[in-house]
Amino acid sequence: MEPPPLPPPTPPECPPAISRTGWWMHLAVLGSYPIVLGIIGHTLKGERTGPILPRDASGLLVMGAVELGIFAVFFLIAWAGSRVTHEQLLLRWRGGVTPVLWGVVYSVALRIGVGIVMAVVFVAGFVLKGVKPEELAEQMRPQTEQLIDARALSDPVYFALSLTFLSFVVAGLREELWRAGVLAALLALFPRLNTDLKGRLVTVGIVALIFGLGHLPQGWGGVAATTVLGFGLGAIIVWHRSIWEAVLAHGFFDATTFALLVALAKLRPDLLPGG
């Protein structure tokens, strides 16, 4: 059973009002957004004396607001080219509280899926390349310390903001709206990809790779993990024809990651980088 095709770039009864140039502009602007941020973060990695996220609650709020503002600028420029619609962005909420339940289920499934894929890559690297397990583990480890100081999460306000504002708005809503926007552009420019599930999954894979490259500051392990995560989130959007299950799954995934970092900081601080 395949999900129905995603909404076409324009309704069949209406003549196309947006040129391919407009959609290419949309794709170039939104597609470059995570890659530009990732390259900047990776370039400045050696110059920073601490993680990307501030260590205090007020700084976290300011940075989150700035991130949302920068994304809004990119998104508005992209919209000016394509005039992408509410339907094309899959913003319709469907099924009452069901998306929330799916979000919880998918967050668990995504964590298991990412873990399995990373384990397979680890075994393959060990068997095929003969890399020492401890060296391979360090190479593959997402460098979360480049993003956040786990000790800052001991502040209750900071922790609450991380579980809510940071996880569900700055990460979940912003990044899934970005994903839906890039998906809409690819399907508008290459409508044949929307004819079957295989084509849509190819599109999801392209978007996931762009998403992964935006996490260069977390190392290549972070790029691999977020690419797998991005593929899963994109598949959720395509299957439900709505971004909200993916937004919530993303939010719950990030929130549980922060909770796990707090637990690790309390129970085994020696396992944290620099702990």
Residue-wise pLDDT tens digits, 213-224: 877 766 666 778
Q: Could you tell me the pLDDT band of residue 56, with boundaries at 50, 70 and 90? A: very high
Task: Give SS3 for 185.
Answer: helix
Record the tokens describing residue 174, joined without a space: 């912003």
Residue with tokens 């800052």: 152
Sign of CA dihedral 192, 195, 196, 200: positive
Cα dihedral across residues 195, 7, 249, 159: positive or negative: positive
In this prediction, residue 15 carries a pLDDT of 40
Judge whether 79 and 198 are in contact, CB under 8 Å: no
Write the DSSP string, 214-236. TTGGGHHHHHHHHHHHHHHHHHH
Confidence band, pLDDT 50/70/90 cuts, at residue 1? low
164, 172 Cβ separation under 8 angstroms: no
Give 160's Cβ-side CA count (13 Å radius): 5
Residue 267: predicted pLDDT: 67
Looking at residue 205, its pLDDT comes to 95
